[in-house]
Amino acid sequence: MKNFVVKTIANAAALAVAVWLLDKITLTGDSTGKKIGTLIVVALLFGLVNFLVKPVVKVLTFPLFILTLGLITLVVNALMLLLTSWLSDKLDVSFHVDGFGTAVLGGLIISIVSWAMNVVLPDDKD
């Protein structure tokens, strides 16, 4: 359970950095509290998408992983971010990613920040 909370916090922080750095990734809310709540919901959605969909996509695109020496990971991360944006729209959560290029940059930022957060935050594997 602790690992789930740590990963959700790391995803929320990474998404917050992406929203802060990129103008075309938007998160709206009336107050800071609502924005934080929305960010946590989006982090949960993003974690769910990465848990359920990403492994299937990785298996289906395994030959492309080999062919591109892993660079297709940027595209897969962008697609997961776009899927999260689409799900957020369907669930009436105010999070939107505008375009594939923005999703690639956002996916790169989220990957770097969530990696750094997972290094800093405690883990229950110890």
pLDDT at 98: 95
pLDDT at 3: 80
Number of domains in the chain: 1
pLDDT at 114: 85
E strand spans, 15-116: 25-27, 95-97
For 71, counting Cβ atoms within 10 Å of its Cβ (0-12 exposed, 13-18 middle, 19+ buried), the class is exposed
Question: Could you read off the pLDDT tens digit of each residue along the chain, which spans 126 residues?
Answer: 678 888 888 889 999 999 999 999 999 878 888 889 999 999 999 999 989 999 999 899 999 999 999 899 999 999 999 999 999 999 999 999 999 999 999 999 999 998 898 788 776 665
Residue 29 belongs to domain spanning: 1-125
For residue 24 the two structure tokens come to 């075309």
Q: For residue 107, which of 10, 6, 26, 14 has the smallest C-alpha distance?
A: 14
d(CA 108, CA 104): 6
pTM given for the model:
0.88
Helix 72-90 to helix 32-52 angle (10° resolution) is 120
pLDDT at 19: 94
Q: For residue 25, which of 9, 46, 10, 50 has the smallest C-alpha distance?
A: 46
